[in-house]
Structure 1
C-alpha cells in the first residue's frame, strides 16, 4: 500500500478507536451526551447497547490495523473489506440516525478505499 493510502486507512482506524472510547467508556458523560444528543436518562438506559456498538467499532479499527500491518496480498483484501464495512455502516447510520455520520465515518473511509485501490 502506498504511504498516503496507509495514512488514510490509519486515520479511519483512529476514528473508530475514538468512537469505541466514546461509546464504551464515556457514553454517560455530558460531553458525549451533547455530541449524540441524548439525555442522562437515555444514556443510562442505553449504556450497554452503546458499549456493544463501541466494541464493534473497535473490531473495525482492529481489522484496518491488521490490513496495514499485514500489507501485500493478505493486507489488501482485508483493508478493502473493512473499509467497505465502514462505508456501509456510515451510510446506514446517516440514513437512520444522523446525517453527519456520512462525513465523519463514510467519507474518510471512501477516500481511504479509493487511495488503497489506486495504490494497489
Structure 2
C-alpha cells in the first residue's frame, strides 16, 4: 500500500510540474491551441494570472516531492 501511495504522489508531482511549466512559460504559446474555445487575445491579457497559478503549482510540486524524500518516521 505504501508503494502505491508513493507512486501516486510521484505522479502528482510530475503533473504539477507540467502544469507549472505550462502556466509560467508556455501560456501564450501553447494555451490558445489547447483552450481553442477561448479568444486568442485573452491569453496575453492573463499572463500574470496564469504565472501566479503556475508558481502555486510549483510550490505544491516541491512540497509533495519533499514528502517522497523524508526518511524520519516522526514526520
TM bracket, shorter-chain basis: 0.7 to 0.9
Counterpart in the other structure of 1:6: 6
Gaps of 5+ in 1: 75-120
Does residue 27 of the first structure (1) align with residue 27 of the second (2)? Answer: yes
Q: Which residue in 2 is equivalent to 1:18? A: 18
Counterpart in the other structure of 1:86: none
Q: How far apart in 2 are the matches of 1:62 and 1:48?
A: 21
Deviation at 1:5, TM superposition (A): 1.1
Structure 2, unmatched stretches of 5+, are: none
Give 1 or 2: higher helix fraction.
Answer: 1
The runs of at least 4 aligned residues of structure 1 exceeding 3 Å deviation read none
Higher RCO (C-alpha 8 Å, min separation 6): 2
Q: CA RMSD in A?
A: 1.7
- Which protein shows a greater Rg? 2
Q: Which residue of 2 aligns with 1:38?
A: 38
Q: Which residue pairs with 1:87 in the alignment?
A: none
Please list the CA deviations of residues 64-120 of structure 1 after superposition, one character each: whole Å capped at 9, or x if unmatched.
Answer: 00111114331xxxxxxxxxxxxxxxxxxxxxxxxxxxxxxxxxxxxxxxxxxxxxx
Alignment length (residue pairs): 73
Q: Which residue of 1 aligns with 2:65?
A: 65
